[in-house]
Structure 1
Amino acid sequence: YHDYEKLCRQQGTMDFAELLLLTVELFTHHPEVLQNYQQRFQSVLVDEFQDTNALQYRLVQQLCAGGAQLFVVGDDDQSIYGWRGARVENILQLERDFPALATVRLEQNYRSTQTILDAANAVIAQNSNRLGKTLWSDGQRGAAVRIYPAINEMDEARYVCEHIQRWHADGGRYDESAILYRSNAQSRVFEEMLLQHRLPYRVYGGLRFFERAEIKDALAYLRLARYRDDDGAVERIINTPTRGIGQKTLADLRQLAQQAGVPLWRILSDDAQIARHFSGRARNALREFTNLIETIAAKIAVETSLKKALETVVHDSGLYAALESEGSEQADARRENLDELINAGSYIDLSTDPASDRIMDFLADAALDAGDGQAEEGSDSIQLMTLHSAKGLEFPNVYIVGMEEGLFPTQRAIESPDKLEEERRLAYVGMTRAERELTLCFAERRRFQGQENYPQPSRFIHEIPEELTEAVRPMVYSGISKMRRQSPAMNSSASPAAPYKLGDSVRHPKFGEGCVMALEGHGEHLRAQIHFAEAGEKWLVLAYA
């Protein structure tokens, strides 16, 4: 960083962060300069004050210390950028640091129905570090907040797609509906389901799942392990993660391949050529790369499971470890995308013939998904986005999906009171994006890294008064939390004689597809509690089912 800073000074340039830092330092060390600007500005206006960081707050203090009138606009309940330095404390301590300020609460809302506002007010009221306000509207009372307890993430996506189809059939536009999620990785299942239902969609402020860099990197490793002559894959991953193979080495490698009229791999795998044309450091790095690809290829050559092949690629390549070591919020999101790629592999394993070439079929499907362009910006299309991206937007019909403990709120937030309050503010922001209809979804079981998990519904759902909600599957919703806390069956496997275990997917000739949620009894008295997607919750004696 010292070298970077020195270079910037030599060139007379500075980056955005330094614009603030150097200004504050200038004012701190040169009072005469600060005094000049204090006399120049008689009023200071700051918008979105809840998103300011410590440095920005210090700059405001410096400018206003000379008597300038301060006017800020902000909503402490919408402070959701703590991960990039924003401090909700800035707006909370404003009256203490500027005692002459008067606070005006703008509580009338012109966007959402009163029911949606009451639900959002109830959730955010659980936070202790807030100034406090209660939103209200003089518009319609509106429909109840819809709660959908899905069997799994596929059922969740199916329900949302079919509900949007009904919205459109009733005269609504596709672009009036938005699907909001906590993690970018959640978009994959929805993209797949939207394509199956032939519904137009657009990922707002981001890339579609198979267009994301880390997914392209992992699939490039997989392609190269199966087909060495893929020059595009070689060029993409030869130095990803960084392994000391620079642009000059790659250019030399490319030139050798062009002169010989062969793919890049033919040069890489020719020890004599590598030894003759490359120095010791580059030579070692290239050999390590070829050995890595050969090792990955040998492992997946005897593997029929796509999930295990993807796990090998993601972990042996170093992609996952590189993101873990980075430790940033963005790196965590990219790691979650790799986890979701493994999930995709586990679904393929469950739904395809083990004798088929799952890897090549998956690569072909992924290429088609990446090439199937999303809807144009501004077109009539369903909007997919993270909750953070949704801030400042509004839609008549909103779905917040994946509302489960450990996902939203995240596990990291559950372990920190301050982060949990920020997660709750994020829920508040998401809920208040809805103008007319709001649907909250959670899955009773969800795959993570190819393994089934049975999460609890998000606490944010339970914080909404019951009279404001309407459950799509009322018997399931009303009993699910109690069942998960009290049923001993939820913490144990099926008895040895039971034909099913908890979480198994089943199909009934009358009730259709369902999920085994509890088992009790023995022998001919063995009963299963099954949640059916269409028929709801049923207790069935297995001997007669």
Structure 2
Amino acid sequence: MLVRELVGHHLDENDGVGPSELCVVGDADQSIYAFRGATIRNIEDFERDYPDATTILLEQNYRSTQTILNAANSVIARNTGRREKRLWTEEGEGELIVGYVADNEHDEARFVAEEIDALADSEGLKYGDVAVFYRTNNSSRALEEVFIRAGIPYKVVGGVRFYERREIRDIVAYLRVLDNPGDSVSMRRILNTPRRGIGDRAEACVAVYAENTGANFNDALQAAAEGRVPMLNSRSEKAIASFVEMLDSLRAKLDDELGDLVEAVLERTGYRRELEASGDPQDLARLDNLNELVSVAHEFSTDLANARALAEQGEGEPVDEDIPDTGVLAQFLERVSLVADADEIPEDGAGVVTMMTLHTAKGLEFPAVFVTGWEDGMFPHMRALGDPNELSEERRLAYVGITRARKRLYLSRAKVRSSWGQPMLNPESRFLREIPEDLINWRRVEQPSSSLSAPVGNAGAGAQPSDDHPGARRPRHPRQVRAGPGRGGLGRGRIGDVTDRLRQCGSGQADAQSRAGAKALRLAPASRTGRQRSGLGAPAQSQQVAAVGRYGEQQGRRGSGENRRTERCLEAGEEEHRDTEDEQRRRTG
């Protein structure tokens, strides 16, 4: 109302004041912050609120190639009720978009790393010219680990590195205490996390007792639980006793599978329960990160068990008997430390790869852009599948991500992605299906039968897709990629050195299973791929995923309710997609 009064016409022509004017610039196709309270109606209803306004469509784009703009136009055109406009440019058609269907998130991350290296070799791009986008922050973990191993410098914009995130450091601190009760730094971090009534004064009393008696902090806590610490009130004693009892019960699970142990920590400490009860969207993101940590633990346990089984059969790297077996948990914590404490790789003039969520990417641009996770349930997000308004916003988010690229655009998806330690089979994103076939050069495609996805030649080297995928009919622009070192030591050789090891994460584990046989099944209890917590896709084949042994009935019970909710979301989302397809066919005749 105030704005309307300010821009209203003056009725008195003799007051010497000219008519008020208002200029507004906005793009309804880039309205992506509804979760912050923004509403697209401010733009969509502007012409209705001000019928005398003159609208000028700014359709010429000075950033991207026409191929990239055509993809963005095709996706956003599916949103109903929008003002019709199509971006165009004088920059030329440009290169085709590159598509890749990965076995899992590790294969997807490996592909991204290889392509970044290839861009440095063949096209002279610097690391600072490249950006990697993902829908949610927890998706950065697999990419970060691959980049660290491959020596690719990176920065996470709008967030922190995976193992530096508060919730990850909290749970890792619990694991450190379980492995080494004498770790006083970790013990004091988790003492009142989440809050359990052990305040600063109680902690100070325990610390003074430890200093006066020469005991470590853990022994002082035991003394406090037994009522032997002076000046500690009964309420604090009871809270500390409950904390000590909880740690003892968790230590009894140290022989459990590592992923199950992490799950037990989340449940027994109440950490997950506190986040689930919160209405803060950031706490939902923290839950996603903890989900990823559980998956990391399951993968590590399975990898280690398979490696041991193969070594015993003489097919893997031999086990050095002189090196003591420190246990799965200790080895996992050592790996986490190596990744978390990895030194920042010097830029040496080439800059660093930028990693960020799609929301953070708005307003930015890069010569080369990778957008990962094009799967229903990931992007669009699971929460949007049953809500047409949220699905429209997710489509606008796809539009924003695509139009960040200036010259080169890469779109990738994973057939299988881990969630709470289980392999989740997600269908291709409906947004990816909305991009015309002739705009994408598929480097690797999904096979409908025996394997998750089949490599077409050498992935990342301009290979052709197979004939059983629609992408085989698309025009191709194959290019050769040099082997050997690249500019500034960025050559493909560095990636090649780690490729085989990275492939063992996920799909490569299936080969390990087939060789290790029954011994691996006994050593490596892992997730059962037939159990579909999300309701997405069809059951995985045993030879496709590292599905050795059993994961346990707990996940299945907890997932059954979510499975039913997800099925309802998918049905609603697919119905919306069919409606938009029918509308598109009517528009095109």
TM range (shorter): 0.7 to 0.9
Q: Which has the higher contact order (CA 8 A, sep 6+)?
A: 2
* Residues 59 and 245 of structure 1: CA distance in aligned 2, closer, same or farther (over 3 Å): farther
CA drift of 1:62 comes to 6.5
1:280 to 221, 234, 238: 234
1:420 to 388, 391, 410: 391
* Residues 471 and 245 of structure 1: CA distance in aligned 2, closer, same or farther (over 3 Å): same
For residue 240 of structure 1, what is the aligned residue in structure 2? 193
For residue 50 of structure 2, what is the aligned residue in structure 1? 98
Measured against aligned partners, the alpha-carbon deviations of 1:356-404 in whole angstroms (never above 9, x if no partner) come to 6111111111112111134579961111111111111111111111110
For residue 5 of structure 1, what is the aligned residue in structure 2? none
2:175 to 206, 214, 222: 222
Distance in 1 of aligned mates of 2:271 and 2:470: 38
Residue 250 of structure 2 aligns to which amino acid in structure 1? I
CA contact (8 A) 2:209 2:229 kept: no
Distance in 2 of aligned mates of 1:375 and 1:111: 30
Distance in 1 of aligned mates of 2:35 and 2:251: 39
Distance in 2 of aligned mates of 1:306 and 1:505: 17
For residue 54 of structure 1, what is the aligned residue in structure 2? none
1:329-344 pair list within 5 angstroms = 329-344=281-296
Distance in 2 of aligned mates of 1:507 and 1:372: 30
Distance in 2 of aligned mates of 1:200 and 1:265: 39
1:146 to 55, 74, 98: 98
CA drift of 1:198 comes to 1.4
CA contact (8 A) 1:267 1:273 kept: no
CA contact (8 A) 2:510 2:544 kept: no
CA contact (8 A) 2:101 2:446 kept: no
SS at match of 2:182: coil
What root-mean-square deviation, in Å, do the aligned CA atoms of Structure 1 and Structure 2 show? 2.8
1:187 paired to 2:158: no
Unaligned runs of 5+ in 2: 11-19, 309-324, 448-464, 472-505, 513-528, 531-540, 546-589
Measured against aligned partners, the alpha-carbon deviations of 1:274-316 in whole angstroms (never above 9, x if no partner) come to 564211222222222111111111122x22x211111111222
For residue 161 of structure 2, what is the aligned residue in structure 1? 208
1:128 paired to 2:80: yes
Distance in 2 of aligned mates of 1:210 and 1:335: 14
Distance in 2 of aligned mates of 1:162 and 1:370: 22
* Residues 274 and 457 of structure 1: CA distance in aligned 2, closer, same or farther (over 3 Å): farther
For residue 63 of structure 2, what is the aligned residue in structure 1? 111
CA contact (8 A) 1:114 1:140 kept: yes
CA drift of 1:470 comes to 1.2
* Residues 83 and 357 of structure 1: CA distance in aligned 2, closer, same or farther (over 3 Å): same
For residue 116 of structure 2, what is the aligned residue in structure 1? 164
1:318 paired to 2:289: no
Residue 362 of structure 1 aligns to which amino acid in structure 2? F
1:357 paired to 2:327: yes
Distance in 1 of aligned mates of 2:543 and 2:268: 40
For residue 535 of structure 1, what is the aligned residue in structure 2? none
Residue 366 of structure 1 aligns to which amino acid in structure 2? V
* Residues 198 and 139 of structure 1: CA distance in aligned 2, closer, same or farther (over 3 Å): same
CA drift of 1:466 comes to 0.8
Moved more, 245-254 or 146-155: 245-254
Name the TM-score, length of structure 1 as normaliser. 0.75
Distance in 1 of aligned mates of 2:113 and 2:2: 48
Runs of 4+ aligned residues of structure 1 deviating over 3 Å after TM superposition are 58-68, 271-276, 353-356, 373-379, 474-482, 502-508, 528-532
Query: Whose strand fraction is larger, Structure 1's or Structure 2's?
Result: 1
CA contact (8 A) 1:202 1:374 kept: no
1:84-95 pair list within 5 angstroms = 84-95=36-47
2:149 to 196, 199, 203: 196
For residue 261 of structure 2, what is the aligned residue in structure 1? 309
